[in-house]
Amino acid sequence: MTFDTQKGKFTALVDVDLKLARGEVVSIIGHSGCGKSTLLNIVAGLNRHTAGVLLLDGKEVTGPGPDRAVVFQNHSLLPWLSVYDNVRLAVDKVLSKRMDRRQRHDWTVHNLELVGMGHALDKHPHEISGGMKQRVGIARALAMEPKILLMDEPFGALDALTRATLQDTLMEIQAKLGNTVIIITHDVDEAVLLSDRIVMMTNGPSATIGEICEVKLDRPRRRLELADDPEYIRCRSAVMRFLYERQRHPKAA
């Protein structure tokens, strides 16, 4: 991925070769500015990659589409619409050919209930907490039945307790629905807790995949039980070593 900038060409990513299995949860971790969002935006179709190819179910994708829904760090809800209408808008846009009005209503409510927001359908974004807004954002993304759920630091702006609750919600939903998820995070514990694989990016410019850690922990995962688990500790220190030993100095890397 090369950007044209005022100072000339800037190569953000090179040779990123990654294949996800259906139902897999993969997190992307790396220092600030290494190109995580750029990579996610390529998958989302928001960035047009300048070389290489992106395949989904064997077909090339070249732009955004409802088969890839994004949850951003800052919810991106429409402030003038209720919680219900924020999700309903996406449902109407994506599913009106397949579902009649009644079904679209039920589907909207169902997805909000799935994330624990069934009690706040008529509230507006300014009336609910940051964690609740993220829940609505996740409901909106899930309601589009994407093949891949793309999450760009979805819990990064939340306090630690709310973050933990939402991580648990995400794991419960993923266990139920089998979603394929790519999640960007800065949080090593979050990466180990949520992921089947952790993709560690080298520092930019010309960032690439440095290492991949496979997390061989059974599901469901419970954070308290994991703290002393040898596999948890192994993955955690593998990521820490990568980030703070090998990729510590951006220039040298």
Q: Is there binding between residue 36 and ligand ATP (CB under 6 A)?
A: yes
Q: Is there binding between residue 3 and ligand ATP (CB under 6 A)?
A: yes
Member of 25, 26, 29, 38 binding ligand ATP (CB under 6 A): 38
- Min. distance of Cβ 10 from ligand ATP in angstroms? 5
Please count the residues of this chain forming the interface with ligand ATP, following the rule CB under 6 A. Answer: 13
The DSSP string of the chain is: -EEEETTEEEE-B--------TT-EEEEE-STTSSHHHHHHHHHTSS--SSS--EETTEE--S--TTEEEE-SS----TTS-HHHHHHHHHHHHHTTTS-HHHHHHHHHHHHHHTT-GGGTT--GGGS-HHHHHHHHHHHHHHT--SEEEEESTTTTS-HHHHHHHHHHHHHHHHHH--EEEEE-S-HHHHHHH-SEEEEEPPSSSB-EEEEEE----SS--HHHHTT-HHHHHHHHHHHHIIIIITSSTTT-
- Min. distance of Cβ 228 from ligand ATP in angstroms? 30
- Min. distance of Cβ 62 from ligand ATP in angstroms? 18
- Min. distance of Cβ 28 from ligand ATP in angstroms? 8
Q: Within positions 191 to 250, which residues make up the interface with ligand ATP, using CB under 6 A?
A: 204
Residues that bind ligand ATP (CB under 6 A): 3, 5, 10, 12, 30, 32-38, 204
